[in-house]
Copies of this chain bind each other. A is one copy, B any other.
Amino acid sequence: MNYKENRLDFERRERIGFVEAIWGEHKTPKQIIEILSKFEAAGQFALVTRVDLPKSEKILRRFKAAKYHQEACCISFGSHPKVDESRGKVIILSGGTSDLPVAAEAELALRVHGVQADTLFDVGVAGLHRVLNNLERIQKADIVIACAGMEGALPTVLGGLIPQPIIGVPVSVGYGVSSDGRVAMECMLASCAPGLMVVNIDNGYGAAMAALRIIRLKSKG
């Protein structure tokens, strides 16, 4: 098997307007370095997701243009557009410390595309006043990304309160029935609040790309 045959496809995701993202979880540092070398040669920006600290250190040693974002467990490589507030604004809600990496991945993925994204912490349904107290701030955003583990009820509560697009991101935080995030995911899909949209469990990057597809409508309008 000739692994060298493997060519990189810089036009691929760019055709639909996304920077190239490399899913780092199952790749060795060596494999990621090989891939980033091609981006280096082509002068392209790249985002590597799901990279833990030890793996990141091996990769950063090789590339000056690489930067590790510890909360998001991502490496950004090369230069990317500046955040342009006129394009619209995404707010990311996070239930607790445990949802942090997923929220941070979403925030970073939007920012490297030049879209303004902010995260609001400790917003969960068991402490409803935190949701209600922040409602005005939430309503100022164009799009809401709501990360939630356990029973995943946050997007449902929001869905009855605000008219914006809401993207639910189930998070694999919990134990017993909720340990793998599936309950949170199905809770969001089964919601009695109309018009919620859901992405895969822990898929902060996917939620960001969904928001990016949506925010472009604002400029078109």
* A contacts, CB < 8 Å to B: 1, 3, 5-7, 9, 12-13, 16-18, 21, 23, 25-27, 31, 35, 50, 71-72, 88, 95, 97-98, 100, 103-104, 107, 119-122, 124-130, 142-143, 150-153, 156-157, 159-167, 170, 172-178, 181-203, 205-206, 208-221
How far, in angstroms, from A200 to B212 measured CA to CA in the complex? 22
Are B157 and A1 in contact, with the CB atoms below 8 A? Answer: no
How far, in angstroms, from A193 to B210 measured CA to CA in the complex? 11
CB-nearest residue of chain B to A25: B175
Are B189 and A122 in contact, with the CB atoms below 8 A? Answer: no
Are B9 and A127 in contact, with the CB atoms below 8 A? Answer: yes
Are A195 and B18 in contact, with the CB atoms below 8 A? Answer: yes
CB-nearest residue of chain B to A26: B98
How far, in angstroms, from A25 to B190 measured CA to CA in the complex? 15
Are B17 and A124 in contact, with the CB atoms below 8 A? Answer: no
Are B209 and A195 in contact, with the CB atoms below 8 A? Answer: yes
- Asked, given contacts A21-B194, A153-B187, whether A177 binds B182 with beta carbons under 8 Å apart, the answer is yes
| Total copies of the chain | 8
Query: How distant is A111 from chain B, measured CB to nearest CB, in Å?
Result: 9
Are B150 and A153 in contact, with the CB atoms below 8 A? Answer: no
Are A210 and B185 in contact, with the CB atoms below 8 A? Answer: no
How far, in angstroms, from A80 to B151 measured CA to CA in the complex? 30
CB-nearest residue of chain B to A167: B197
Residues in B neighbouring A177, C-beta threshold 8 A: 182, 185-186, 189-190, 200-201
- Asked, given contacts A26-B98, A185-B176, A200-B178, whether A214 binds B212 with beta carbons under 8 Å apart, the answer is no
Query: How distant is A201 from chain B, measured CB to nearest CB, in Å?
Result: 3
Further contacts, 10 of them, CB under 8 A, given A88-B217, A176-B181, A189-B201: A7-B122, A16-B163, A26-B98, A27-B97, A143-B217, A175-B202, A186-B186, A190-B200, A196-B199, A197-B199
Are A176 and B170 in contact, with the CB atoms below 8 A? Answer: yes
Are B130 and A9 in contact, with the CB atoms below 8 A? Answer: yes
Are B176 and A189 in contact, with the CB atoms below 8 A? Answer: yes
